[in-house]
Amino acid sequence: MADSECWESMYQWVSADPQSARERFLKLAAIWKRETAVLSDTIEIVTHPSYQQIIGMGAFALPHIFHELDNEPSHWFHALVAITRTDPVPEEEKGNIPAMRQRWLEWAIQNGFTGRIRD
* pLDDT of 43: 95
For the chain, which ranges sit under pLDDT 50? Answer: 1, 13, 116-119
Q: What are phi and psi of 73, to 5 degrees?
A: -55, 135
* DSSP-assigned states of every residue in 30-96: HHHHHHHTT---HHHHHTSHHHHHHHHTGGGTHHHHHHHHHHS--S-HHHHHHHHS---S-GGGTT-
* pLDDT of 11: 53
pTM value is 0.80
**Domain ranges for the chain:** 1-10+63-119
Q: Residue 56 and residue 82: Cα distance in Å, rounded?
A: 9
* pLDDT of 13: 47
